[in-house]
Amino acid sequence: MRWPRFSFAVVAVFLADTGAAANVQVKVVDHKGEPLQYAVIALNYSGASGKAGRPDRRAMDQIDKEFVPHVLVVEKGTPVYFPNKDDIRHHVYSFSKPKEFELPLYKGTPAKPVVFDKTGEVKLGCNIHDWMLGYIYVVDTPYFAVTDASGKAVVANVPAGTATVTLWHPRMNEKSEKTDRKLSLTVDQTASLNYQIKVRKEYRVRRAPRAGGRKY
């Protein structure tokens, strides 16, 4: 693994030399003021500075008959593997426009990754387990983060300059919410953004309750 280490060192030196990194911290709440987990914040820069090279491969696991993580953000062009860590078979699919695909009944990890080459929301399901629900959100920038249970996220080490900040959440209505913001970042600045958005109630197929298990 000599080569990846070397390229990481080059990036670190570059940032230290220019001091150009800024940070953006966000807090996202719903219409009742409750913290919203799984909101995706992305910074889009015009020009080449906002594009990474070839994105690394990523994984959307299936663990205990759930997609893990619930929301995975990837840069356009990212190959995503779907490792099944359960001892039963899953049948993963999506009918979403940015990527329609199907991984027929399998155990282990299908050899070929799925490449997500269009931006937008890809909703995942499993033919066998109706309650399984996950999302892959495809962005055209390397600068993004997902909010945690406290509704907070930090996009760290972003370039100074003007960025368009976009927000997405699996349960928001993208047509009625106007969340895009322009943000001018100076060197070493930490900007704070607060959002309050309306979200739909979560609709999920109920999972059969298990003794001592999580309830759905």
User: What does the binding site for Cu ion look like in residue numbers (CB under 5 A)?
Assistant: 90, 126, 128-129
Tell the smallest beta-carbon distance from residue 130 to Cu ion (Å): 9
Q: Tell whether omega for the bond before 209 is within 30 degrees of 0, i.e. cis.
A: no
Q: For residue 3, which phi and psi values (nearest 5 degrees)? A: -65, -50
Tell the smallest beta-carbon distance from residue 90 to Cu ion (Å): 3
Q: Which amino acid is at 215?
A: K
d(CA 114, CA 119): 14
- The residue among 15 and 63 lying less far from Cu ion, judged by its C-beta, is 63
d(CA 21, CA 31): 33
- The residue among 85 and 198 lying less far from Cu ion, judged by its C-beta, is 85
Report the residue number whose CB is nearest to Cu ion: 126
Tell the smallest beta-carbon distance from residue 128 to Cu ion (Å): 4
* Biggest alpha carbon–alpha carbon distance for the chain: 56
- The residue among 67 and 143 lying less far from Cu ion, judged by its C-beta, is 67
Tell the smallest beta-carbon distance from residue 149 to Cu ion (Å): 25
Which of 119, 128, 68 lies closest to 92 in space, CA to CA? 128
- The residue among 129 and 152 lying less far from Cu ion, judged by its C-beta, is 129
